Amino acid sequence: MAVPALFKEFTVALGRDTFAFTAFLGTLTALPPLSIDMGLPGLPAIEATFADAGGRGPLTLSLFMAGFAISPLICGPLADRFGRRAMLLDGLLLFSLAAGACALAPNFSVLLACRLLQGFAAGACAILPIAIVRDLFVHGAARQKLSQIAAVLGIAPMLAPVLGGWVMTVSDWRAIYAAQAAVGLILLVVGAMGLAESQPVESRRSLNPRQLAESYRFVLTDRSFVGYALLYACAFACMFAFISGAPSVLIGSLGLSTTSFSLLFGLTSCGVLVASLISGRLSKHNVSSRKIIAFGLLLMVASALLALVLVPLGAVTVATLTPMMALTIFAFGMLAPSTNHEALANLPHVAGSAAGVMRCTQMVMGAFASAMVAVLEPFGHPALVMTGLMAAMAIVAGAIYLWVLPATKAGTHHR
**pLDDT above 70 as % of the chain:** 89
Model pTM score: 0.72
Q: Where are the domains of the chain?
A: 7-195+209-409
The whole-number average pLDDT for the span 322-328 is 90
Residue 218 pLDDT level (bands cut at 50, 70, 90)? confident
Using CA atoms, how far residue 253 sits from 136, 190, 316, 328, in Å, is 48, 43, 10, 21
CA atoms within 13 A on the CB side of 133: 32
Confidence (pLDDT) at 2: 47
The whole-number average pLDDT for the span 177-198 is 88
Q: Which of 133-142, 212-221, 406-415 has the highest mean pLDDT?
A: 212-221
Task: Return the ∠ at Cα 253 (arms to 249 and 257), rounded to 5°.
Answer: 85
State the Cα–Cα distance between residues 59 and 85, nearest whole angstrom.
31
Which of 186, 205, 189 is closest to 84 using CA atoms?
A: 205
DSSP string across 80-125: HHH-HHHHHHHHHHHHHHHHHHHHT-SSHHHHHHHHHHHHHHHHHH
Confidence (pLDDT) at 55: 66
Residue 3 pLDDT level (bands cut at 50, 70, 90)? very low
Residue 207 pLDDT level (bands cut at 50, 70, 90)? low
Which tops the pLDDT comparison, 222 or 99? Answer: 99
Q: Which of 47-61, 273-287, 378-392 has the highest mean pLDDT?
A: 378-392
| 400, amino acid identity | I
Which tops the pLDDT comparison, 173 or 356? Answer: 173
Residue 180 pLDDT level (bands cut at 50, 70, 90)? very high
Which tops the pLDDT comparison, 340 or 9? Answer: 340
Domain 7-195+209-409 has CATH 3.90.190.20: no
Judged by phi (left if over 0) then psi (alpha if -120 to 50, else beta), residue 196 lies in beta
**Average pLDDT of the residues of the chain:** 82
The helix, strand and coil proportions of the chain, stated in percent and rounded to the nearest 5, come to 85, 0, 15
Residue 18 has pLDDT above 60, yes or no: yes
Q: Which of 2-16, 63-77, 340-354 has the highest mean pLDDT?
A: 63-77
* Of the listed ranges 11-25, 187-201, 272-286, 389-403, the one predicted with least confidence: 11-25
Residue 6 has pLDDT above 50, yes or no: no
The whole-number average pLDDT for the span 393-407 is 88
Confidence (pLDDT) at 12: 45
State the Cα–Cα distance between residues 330 and 275, nearest whole angstrom.
5
Which tops the pLDDT comparison, 245 or 312? Answer: 312
Which tops the pLDDT comparison, 394 or 341? Answer: 394
Residue 11 pLDDT level (bands cut at 50, 70, 90)? very low
Residue 103 pLDDT level (bands cut at 50, 70, 90)? very high
Which of 130, 153, 154 is closest to 142 using CA atoms?
A: 130
The H or E element that residue 406 is part of is helix 382-409
Residue 75 pLDDT level (bands cut at 50, 70, 90)? confident
Confidence (pLDDT) at 238: 93
Confidence (pLDDT) at 158: 67
- Per DSSP, 16 falls in state T
Contacts for 165-170: CB closer than 8 Å, 24+ residues apart: 165/41, 165/258, 165/259, 165/261, 165/262, 165/263, 167/38, 167/41, 167/42, 168/41, 168/42, 168/45, 168/258, 169/259
The whole-number average pLDDT for the span 60-67 is 84
State the Cα–Cα distance between residues 176 and 365, nearest whole angstrom.
26
Which pLDDT tens digit goes with each residue over 223-249? 888 999 999 999 989 988 887 788 778
Confidence (pLDDT) at 135: 75
Which tops the pLDDT comparison, 178 or 26? Answer: 178
Which pLDDT tens digit goes with each residue over 41-60? 787 788 888 888 776 777 78
* Of the listed ranges 69-73, 152-156, 302-306, 317-321, the one predicted with least confidence: 152-156
